[in-house]
Structure formats: structure tokens, C-alpha cells
Amino acid sequence: MELSAIQKMTDDELVRLARVLKVPIASRTVKRSWLVEELSNTMEERKEKRADKPKKLPNPAVDIKGMSKRFGKTLAVDKLDLKVSPGEIVGLVGPNGAGKTTTLRVMTGIIKPNGGEVSVGGHDIQKSPIQAKDLIGYIPEKPTCYPSLTVREYLMFMGRIYDVPNEETLVRMSHYLDMFQLRVHLDDYIGTLSKGNLQRTLLVGIFVREPPFVLAFDEPIYGLDPRGAWSLKAHLHDLKKEGSAILVSTHILEVAERLCDRFVIMNDAKVVGRGTLKELLNESTRATNLEEVFLELTGGIPE
């Protein structure tokens, strides 16, 4: 991706990258092709120096065993078993209050389970939270972000948090800004963005890191326009091929049906169905698509 991404960068971005990489620009005008080549070579050299080993997720990348979560007297999740392998997109579907969001919040280490084990990338989320979180990309149900940061600042901040070298952040940022049509908002304050653009910003904030990821997305299509939704779905497929493990919680069953390889259907804190769409349809007597399977397992198909 690197060379093609650098080639697509704007002139300002190239100069910014040159500053970060300390590539000297001696004359007032330089040839774009020369600068691109210089930057690309310097990035290669830096990469070789760092000698980063290519990351690979263990199988399963997400391993949840017998996880339960209570809020006071309310049982939010009851003895959930869930595995997500690298190169797999799993859809977590269920009605409101089924326990999907709680599952994602436990998985990302925001809240602790009352029982069971949760490991991400082979790291127990309770015993080694930092190592586990290093792999996780999380989009919450209600996207929120720091309103006083500009989009650029936020993306650079995310790069810093996840220890991505500045030059890598700049190149990846430029690539994904184009992919999610966010470039015009780069210097806008996050507090002034629309919901869709905020969602795009959060997504780019994850993708500035080096894959593979363990993605926990809660309603990722929320607020995105058709083009944004299409870009995201296409990119999730690419990430899947590269070995990321993806868990998507959504109510939009048409999206889930086309996006996910496997489904876990939850109702009243319990798993009521799991498997590929084919397996779920085979188990059902009446259902002909995911929506009907969902309705059948969560209270019956209305007449």
C-alpha cells in the first residue's frame, strides 16, 4: 500500500511527511516524483531498521468462555461462549437489551465480567489488558469523541497511543481519508462534525494502525451514507483477507447477512442460535433468510 499511498498524497502532506522523515528539501521547488521516491525509500529504510515482525493473530483471536455479566439484579450476559478466528467476520445479532453491547464492552476491557474468561489475541483481558487492547479496534454504539480536537489531531493522537511511527500514521491517514471522503474535514473540530463524519473519523482512527486487528464494532454502519457504508464493508472484507478477526454487532440484518461469515444470535442475555446462515436455515423449519431466523429465535415470526 505504501508507495501507492504516498503517490496519492497531496503536496502539503508530502512536505509534512518529509519534515517527519527529515528528508532535506534544499531548493524552493522539487519534482514531485523525486520527493515521492525519496520519501518511499526513507520509509523503507526506517522500516528495515525497526525490523518489525509481521503481526499475526492466534487462533482463536477472540475466545470468550462462559462469560457472565450482571448489573445489580439484572443479568446482562449469561455464560456466553464465543470464538472469532482470524480471517472471519462474526455477526452478533439480537433484539435491544439482548446483551450484545455488554459483550463488546467486556471484550474490550471497559467493564469486567462477573464470571468466565475473555482473551483477545491470546491475552487474557483481565490479566494482560494492555497487550490485548493493543490489538483491539472498538467502535461504540453511540459514537463520541473529544469535541475540542481537530480530525487531524485526533488521528495523530490515535497513532501515538498505539505506538505507530508518525510517518506511518501520516501515510495511512492520507489513504483512509480518501477512502472515507474525510479529507475536507481534516482541520475541522470533531465537535462540529455530523454523526456520519464522526463515525468515519473513529474508523480512520482505528485504521491508521498496522493490521491485523481484532475489531469490535457496535452498529458500525450507524450514520454512514451509502458510499461510506460501501467503503467500510469493502474494507472489512480486505481486512478479513489480511487476517483480522471481526466481531460486528448490528440490527441491520441485510448488512449482517451480506457481511458476516457466521452469526451468534442473542436474546435475553443468552445465545439462542449460532452458525453460518446455511446452518441456521437448515435448523429452522420456516425461515428463508436471516431476518426470519432472527424473528423465529427471538419470539416468533409475526403472522
Partner 1 sequence: MLWNQFKRTIRTPSMLMFYGITIIGVYFVSVIISTVLSFGPVVFLLGVLVEDVLDRGTVFTAMGVLTLSSIVGGYFGLGPAAVLTENDESIILGAPIKPYQLFMSRYVRRLVRKIVFIFAGLVAIFPIVSSANILFMPLFTLLITTIIFFEVNYFLGGIASYFKVKLQQRTNNPIRHLLVVLLVVLALLPTIPSVTSSSVESMLVPSNAFAYIVTEVTGILSWGYGPLVGLQFLALGFLISFLFLSALCDFDYYEVFATAAGREKVEGRFSKIVRGQVDFTETRFSDPMSWIMLKDFWSRMRSPLQIWKYVYVVFGTIFVVYLNLVRPANLAPMQIPPELSSTAIPAFLLIVLLMIQLSSVTSLLSFVDEQDNIYLLKASPFKPIDIILAKYMLSLMEVGLSSIPILGFIAYFFRVQGFGALLTLAAPLVLIFTASGIAIGAFVPVFTNDPRILPVPLAFSFPVVNLTLGAVLIALVAALAHELLILVALPFYVLAIVFLFLEAGVHAMNSFR
Site of interaction with partner 1 (CB under 8 A): 71, 105, 108-112, 126, 129-131, 133-134, 136, 138, 140, 142-150, 153, 158, 161-162, 189, 191-192, 202, 205, 216
**Can you give the length of the chain in residues?**
303
Count how many Cα atoms sit within 13 Å of the Cα of residue 264 in the half-sphere of its side chain: 23
* Residues 6+ away with beta carbon under 8 Å from 116: 64, 65, 66, 67, 68, 79, 80
Complex with partner 1: residue 39 or 201, whichever CB lies closer: 201
Minimum distance from residue 166 beta carbon to partner 1 (Å): 18
Complex with partner 1: residue 102 or 250, whichever CB lies closer: 102
| CB of residue 39 to partner 1, shortest distance in Å | 29
Q: With CA atoms as reference, report the closest residue to 208 among 256, 141, 161, 267.
A: 161
- Between CA 162 and CA 137 the distance in angstroms is 11
Q: What's the first-to-final CA gap in the chain, in angstroms?
A: 51
For residue 222, the minimal CB distance to partner 1 (Å) is: 13
Q: Using the minimum distance from each CB to partner 1, give the nearer residue, 199 or 267.
A: 199
Distance (Å, whole) CA 41 – CA 98: 51
Contacts (Cβ under 8 Å, ≥6 apart) of 175: 1, 5, 8
To the nearest whole angstrom, how small is the minimum distance from the Cβ of residue 184 to partner 1? 19
Q: Look at residues 151, 220, 211, 219 and name the one whose alpha carbon lies nearest to residue 187.
A: 151
Please say which residue, 99 or 205, places its beta carbon nearer to partner 1: 205
Nearest CB to partner 1, comparing residues 38 and 219: 219
Smallest gap from Cβ 44 to partner 1, in A, equals: 27
Ramachandran region, residue 210 (left: φ > 0; alpha: ψ -120 to 50; beta: rest): beta
Nearer to partner 1, 106 or 297 (CB): 106
Burial code (b: 16+ CB inside 10 Å, e: under 16) for 185-210 equals bbeeebeebeebbbbbbbbbbbbbbe
**Of the two residues 7 and 114, which places its CB atom closer to partner 1 in the complex?**
114
Q: What span, in angstroms and rounded, lies between the C-alpha atoms of 82 and 66?
A: 9
* Closest distance of CB 9 from partner 1, Å: 25
Q: Which is nearer to partner 1, 14 or 102 (CB)?
A: 102
DSSP SS3 for 187: coil
**Smallest separation (angstroms) from partner 1 to the CB of 143:** 7
Between CA 154 and CA 203 the distance in angstroms is 12
* Minimum CB–partner distance for residue 142 and partner 1 (Å): 8
